[in-house]
Amino acid sequence: MEFQKKKFLFFTPYSGVWVHSFPEALLASSLKESGHDVSYIHCGRLYKEDCIVKKIAGVKFDATPEAKEKICKTCEKTENILKHRFNWESSTIRERVTEEDISEANSLVEHGLNFTDLYKTMVDGIPVGVLTAFEFFTSKKLLDPEKVTGQDLEQYRNNLKDAILTLRGAEKILDEQQPDCVVVYNAEYSVNGIWGKLCEKKNTMFYSENSGVNFSNRLERFQVNIGSYFYGNQTLLRNWPVYKKFHVSKNEAEEITNHFLALFEGKSLYTYSTPKARAVFSPRAYFGLKPEQKLFVATLSSKDELFAAELIGQINPVDSEENPFFSQEHWTQALIEHFKSRPDYFLVIRIHPREYPNKRDKIKSQNYEKLQASLVNLPPNVKVNWPTDGLSIYDLMEETDVFLNGWSTAGKEMSFFGLPVVTYCGAIVAYPLDLVYSAKTRKEFFEMMDEALKTPFDPERIRLNFRWLAWEFIRSNFLIDDAFTFPEREKRSLPYRVANKLTGGQFRYVENWWRVRHFPNKLAATGDILKYFDKKVQTPAELWEPLPENLIEPEVEERIIKKEMKRIYGLLYKDQKLWQDAPSYTLRYKLGRWLS
């Protein structure tokens, strides 16, 4: 199949993050080997004070120059490994930044007295202050712009300066190279978002890459979307009425199951919940429920990520009159008031683990302190599950009758197990609403809580979840495991750790060099990749064509799904008695009865 030759520009200032930069290089190499023109733009130390690589490495903004210099060298070593292996045509954005540009950026950021002033910064019609806010607020877990002071304000000022200099450098590069397509890793990063806005002005195609979202093989799958991952997800949701008609295949079902097995381990950096308890755990006993009480668990969401998305205009404000409860805080208080009048119900309010320091970051959110102050003097049938309790959501699901949810992905996860979920934020959830009960008014929400009790377990929810995850995990991205695998969840061998320590962390470069020397120039998925860029569709899912195994009879699909749920059941309850011996309100009983 013939494809129109294109000129691709990869802006890649984060080479030090190997698990992102090498897959990106494989994508670029596949395009180059197929006849497309490819050029690379690196940082050139433009972001020497603060960048994503430094954040991931734990090097803070106020770190020593020596610590920052070490990270810059890490990036440059990786750049050189990839450049020599793939013979890139590359340059840096720093080369395009002039003294005049630096003077302009300094002038703009120095005039801002506070965050609000800086946030409003516009350059040539591009909201650079807004674009800088997302990454900054999520990394700090901030909610209140007025509290951005001192060192935090200086960091934001620096990030804003970098964004302005990126704009000036990128303008020159786009004028020089005139690319057909610009590709970045994660458009939410502030300097990447600048390229997106410039491409929009120049009618240049702009693509955002991301790793997969299946935790069992996250790095072996590669997503590409026009604009950002967010728009790819919205496309899947729009097409869901058609997509949900296609059955899940045996291989797809196995891959989906592997994701949940990885979730139960709780080892992934992107898993906030603690691992599932190995011993038998009873939420009803832990929280002191009476035998006649029904257990409801309200899963709260971390607010800083949502607030940051609102700041950059990615979504409409959730705290608004269109929200049945106006805000998550009002929803929580409304639940407490409702349960006061329902002694036959018991509510557990689960605080999102991200609000508290965790394995991914060591920061307590601003919202956590608000929650501690507001969730006091509760009625006897309302308890709070704090992150410090160390409870896994997969332990709570064992005896929960109904889950209550705003926009957390926990809603989708609990629905996957056939459990009822009621949400009040259907407008912004990132999964289909036919997986849950979705209320549009307060009255409807409380009515749906009662209605959900009538169907405590529904295999149809499981089937729809498998079908949705086939699109989200598999059909919307490219498999690259023929060229890249990475033991993200496995502990490195003792010889590797010793060698890396003895070489001051340099042994990993030997490993990286070996990897690039022994992998192909073109991915097995190159044909699909070429077709995707040629057709200019939002997500690869739009080009997916069903295989015979996706057109099977419903009975065959049910057998496939049951086989996979038995794998999950075996891990959840491997040390426990037969399902018939479990109380009828437990998930062990419900799943076991359906699978038998």
Residue with structure tokens 């601003």?
Answer: 366
Residue with structure tokens 């569709």?
Answer: 537
Who's near 263: CB < 8 A, 6+ residues apart? 215, 271, 273, 394, 413
Domain check: are 423 and 539 in the same one? no
pLDDT value at position 179?
98
Is 552 inside a domain boundary?
no
pLDDT value at position 577?
74
3-state secondary structure 172-209: HHHHHHCCCEEEEECCCCHHHHHHHHHHHHHCCEEEEE
Q: Using CA atoms, how far apart are residues 304 and 285, in angstroms rounded to an integer?
A: 33
Who's near 259: CB < 8 A, 6+ residues apart? 214, 215, 216, 469, 473
Q: Is the pLDDT of residue 194 over 90?
A: yes
3-state secondary structure 54-79: HHHCCCCCCCCHHHHHHHHHHHHHHH
Helical H segments across 341-478, by residue range: 366-374, 393-396, 410-416, 442-452, 459-469
3-state secondary structure 452-488: HCCCCCCHHHHHHHHHHHHHHHHHCCEECCCCCCCCC
In 289-341, beta strands by DSSP E: 294-299
Q: Is the pLDDT of residue 519 over 80?
A: no
Q: Is the pLDDT of residue 112 over 90?
A: no
Q: Is the pLDDT of residue 521 over 90?
A: no
Which pLDDT tens digit goes with each residue over 128-171?
999 998 888 888 877 778 888 899 999 999 999 999 999 999 99
Is 1 inside a domain boundary?
no
Helical H segments across 203-294, by residue range: 229-243, 250-265, 283-287
Is 37 inside a domain boundary?
yes
pLDDT value at position 509?
52
Tallying the residues shown for the chain, one arrives at: 596
Which pLDDT tens digit goes with each residue over 171-187?
999 999 999 999 999 99
pLDDT value at position 147?
82
Identity of residue 311: L
Indicate left, alpha or beta for 284 from its phi (over 0: left) and psi (-120 to 50: alpha).
alpha
Residue with structure tokens 């195994």?
Answer: 549
Q: Is the pLDDT of residue 311 over 80?
A: no
Domain check: are 195 and 298 in the same one? no
Domain check: are 227 and 331 in the same one? no
Give 209 or 503, the one with higher predicted confidence.
209
Task: Write out the two tokens for 279.
Answer: 């011993």
Domain check: are 127 and 191 in the same one? yes
Q: Is the pLDDT of residue 486 over 80?
A: no
Percent of all residues in the chain with a pLDDT value above 70, rounded to a whole number? 89
pLDDT value at position 489?
53
pLDDT value at position 134?
85
Cβ count within 10 A of residue 87? 11
Q: Using CA atoms, how far apart are residues 268 and 217, in angstroms rounded to an integer?
A: 11
Who's near 321: CB < 8 A, 6+ residues apart? none
Work out the pLDDT band at 496, boundaries 50, 70, 90: low
Domain check: are 426 and 523 in the same one? no
* Domain count of the fold of the chain: 2
User: How large is the average pLDDT for residues 414-425?
Assistant: 97
Checking DSSP bridges between strand 7-11 and strand 181-185, what pairing results, if any? parallel
Domain check: are 195 and 297 in the same one? no
Query: Which DSSP helix (H) or strand (E) runs through 509?
Result: helix 507-517
Is 278 inside a domain boundary?
yes
Across the chain, how many H-helices and E-strands are there?
Answer: 23, 13
Q: Using CA atoms, how far apart are residues 281 and 394, in angstroms rounded to an integer?
A: 10
Domain check: are 87 and 155 in the same one? yes
CATH number of domain containing 270: 3.40.50.2000
Q: Using CA atoms, how far apart are residues 486 and 480, in angstroms rounded to an integer?
A: 11
Is 587 inside a domain boundary?
yes
Domain check: are 225 and 331 in the same one? no
Q: Using CA atoms, how far apart are residues 22 and 4, in angstroms rounded to an integer?
A: 26
Which pLDDT tens digit goes with each residue over 368-386?
888 888 999 999 999 999 9
User: How large is the average pLDDT for residues 198-220?
Assistant: 95
Work out the pLDDT band at 359, boundaries 50, 70, 90: low
**What is residue 223's three-state secondary structure?**
strand
Domain check: are 339 and 396 in the same one? yes
Q: Using CA atoms, how far apart are residues 339 and 324, in angstroms rounded to an integer?
A: 18
| Residue 422 structural domain | 243-471+557-595
Work out the pLDDT band at 97, boundaries 50, 70, 90: very high
Using an 8 Å Cβ cutoff, are 402 and 290 in contact? no
pLDDT value at position 234?
94
Using an 8 Å Cβ cutoff, are 207 and 226 in contact? yes
Who's near 506: CB < 8 A, 6+ residues apart? 500
Q: Using CA atoms, how far apart are residues 314 and 510, in angstroms rounded to an integer?
A: 41
Q: b or e along 560-578 (b: 16 or more beta carbons within 10 Å of the residue's beta carbon)?
A: bbbebbeebbeebbeeeee
Who's near 296: CB < 8 A, 6+ residues apart? 339, 345, 346, 347, 348, 400, 401, 402, 403, 404, 449
pLDDT value at position 240?
97
User: How large is the average pLDDT for residues 454-466?
Assistant: 98
Query: Which DSSP helix (H) or strand (E) runs through 166?
Result: helix 150-177
Write the DSSP string, 562-591. HHHHHHHHHHHTTTS--GGGS-TTSHHHHH
Domain check: are 253 and 313 in the same one? yes
Q: Using CA atoms, how far apart are residues 325 and 333, in angstroms rounded to an integer?
A: 9
Which pLDDT tens digit goes with each residue over 26-68?
999 999 999 999 999 999 999 999 999 999 888 999 999 999 9
Work out the pLDDT band at 81, boundaries 50, 70, 90: confident
pLDDT value at position 508?
58
Is 132 inside a domain boundary?
yes
Residue with structure tokens 């992102």?
Answer: 20
Domain check: are 86 and 120 in the same one? yes
Is 549 inside a domain boundary?
no
User: How large is the average pLDDT for residues 396-401?
Assistant: 97
Using an 8 Å Cβ cutoff, are 427 and 410 in contact? no
Is 130 inside a domain boundary?
yes
pLDDT value at position 270?
55
Domain check: are 329 and 307 in the same one? yes
